[in-house]
Each structure stands twice: as structure tokens, then as C-alpha cells.
Copies of this chain bind each other. A is one copy, B any other.
């Protein structure tokens, strides 16, 4: 990887120091500034490489290094800096009044963090690194400067926002599943799909989060997550060893994840409009519900 050491660019130094009000507290050692390259940032955001190679100038972009369990963003803090995960992983959560940590999502490289603060200027969630991680930091002023030199960044950010939006639909479909095993199966497939899209192994997963965090996100008790893990393992779908998970039977796992709340009374007579949006084109294989192979029916 590129070096994130103390070779701080003098050019952006004043900006980095003021990069985010979230680090106002005591996080002296948890956040370490550095620099990265605009080209890598665009690649992370999913901008096509062939287009970037032509027009992207070799510009530096501020990078923050966050230690494991370090707090990147504080709920309630006044800041609207945008972050893009460069390496590592994060969990986004809100702390309820009774102290319960409600995990909202997990973020991997390429994902945007802190987008919700764009319109109000106030952080809506806490973001905590689950391992040593680095992020690109795009303050509003920084963003404007970059846009002047590379208009492509604008499109990249918008695409990133759009991608985040479609991610939330996926997470929603995880949580609303009836059975806890189904939720967990969807969660595993969700992780797997995102590992695959990051170019990594899609069958061997090393979970960065604890059972409690998974349970929080899935909306079940953490004991239930543990039980569901063993159930899926006993069914021969998974091999689970603490936080190392291996998918043994991808098809079976997909089948398990497919089971939905039965359409009960809706079988046959749909409310006029609903009958029209069956499926009429190859949709995005959203990791679990739509598999690549045709259905046996």
C-alpha cells in the first residue's frame, strides 16, 4: 500500500488540521492525517478506469488513518465533511437513550460516510472503525477545489450517493425477513457479495464485527444470532469458526435466504396495479433474492 506516514503535504496541511469538527474531543491519536491520490479515490467510487486515465490530474487528497475502535464521526457533531472508505471497515450506529447501540450498517472500502450530514451540517450517526482503516476526507472547501481541477469528481460523488441509497434497500430487506436464520443468511450473502465486488474472496469471510453488532443490525438478540449460525452450519450451508465464516453451499444459502413472508391472501388476486410490475428484465442480482441461474419452475 502507499505510505501514510508523517509525510504530510504542506499544501493541504491547514485544511487537514481543520478537516472535521468531530475530532474536537480527545481523539488525538485515533486520527492521523496523511494524503492519497485522486485517481484512487475515483476508482474507489466506481468511476470507469478508461475515462479516468485520460482526464484525471495527479492530485493529492487528504487521508485520515483511524485506529481500531476509533471514532471517525460523532453523532450530533457539526460538520459536513464527506468521507470515502479507503481501507478497513466501519460500523455506523446510533446510541439510544438507554445506552443500546443500534447498528445501522457496516461500511467497506468505496463507501461514503457522513453523507447524511450534507443537508443539515450535523452528523446523524456515529461511525467507528472496526479495524485499522483509512478514509479520504472531502471537506466542502476541499471538494470545491477538486471540482475545479477535475469535474469528474462531481459525478463520482453523485454516483457514490446513489450507490449508498441502493445499499439501504438491501439492508432493509435483510431486517424485515421473518425468520432469524433468513436474516442471517441474507446478511452473510450481503457481506459475500460486497467482498466479491471488492475483488476479494466471496466464500471465505472474516467478520470484523461481533455477534452483538450483527444482532443489533438484524434486529434480533445476540443469542439468536449465535443460534442461527449453528443452525446454518448444521444444515451444511456454512462453516463457522468464531469470526471466520466459510460458505459451503452457496445455492442452499440462497434458497434459505429466499424464503419470505408468504403472500398469504394475495395469491392470485392482486390489487390492480400490483399485478403489472412482475419482472420483465434482468434486474441487478441483489446478492440473495435473485440468483444467476434460472428458476426450476
On A, residues with C-beta under 8 Å from B are 25-26, 46, 69-71, 74-78, 94-102, 104-105, 115-120, 122, 124-126, 128, 154, 157-166, 168-169, 171-173, 175-178, 216-219, 221, 258, 260-263, 266-267, 270-274, 276-284, 286, 289-290, 295
Known contacts A277-B126, A295-B97; A172/B172 CB under 8 A: yes
Contacts of A295 in B (CB 8 A): 97
Known contacts A126-B277, A165-B115, A284-B120; A176/B175 CB under 8 A: yes
Task: Verify B159–A122 contact, CB threshold 8 A.
Answer: no
Task: Verify B76–A282 contact, CB threshold 8 A.
Answer: yes
Task: Verify B277–A95 contact, CB threshold 8 A.
Answer: yes
Of the residues B77, B169, B221, contact of A116 by C-beta under 8 Å: B169
Task: Verify A276–B159 contact, CB threshold 8 A.
Answer: no
How distant is A130 from chain B, measured CB to nearest CB, in Å?
Answer: 10
For the complex, what is the distance from the CA of A15 to the CA of B260, rounded to whole Å? 40
Known contacts A98-B263, A284-B122; A115/B70 CB under 8 A: no
Can you list 27 contacts pairing A with B, beta carbon distance less than 8 Å?
A25-B280, A26-B276, A69-B273, A76-B279, A76-B280, A77-B281, A94-B169, A95-B274, A98-B260, A100-B260, A102-B176, A102-B260, A116-B165, A116-B169, A117-B162, A119-B160, A120-B166, A124-B283, A124-B284, A128-B277, A157-B158, A161-B161, A161-B162, A168-B172, A175-B175, A175-B176, A216-B261
How distant is A99 from chain B, measured CB to nearest CB, in Å?
Answer: 5
Contacts of A117 in B (CB 8 A): 162
Contacts of A166 in B (CB 8 A): 116, 119-120, 124
How distant is A284 from chain B, measured CB to nearest CB, in Å?
Answer: 6
How distant is A222 from chain B, measured CB to nearest CB, in Å?
Answer: 8
Contacts of A70 in B (CB 8 A): 273
Task: Verify A169–B279 contact, CB threshold 8 A.
Answer: no
For the complex, what is the distance from the CA of A104 to the CA of B96, rounded to whole Å? 23
18 further A-B pairs in the complex, CB-CB below 8 A; given A176-B217, A177-B219: A70-B273, A71-B273, A71-B276, A77-B281, A78-B281, A94-B289, A96-B260, A96-B263, A99-B267, A100-B266, A118-B161, A124-B169, A125-B169, A168-B168, A168-B172, A172-B175, A175-B175, A216-B261
Contacts of A289 in B (CB 8 A): 94, 96-97
Of the residues B125, B154, B271, contact of A69 by C-beta under 8 Å: B271
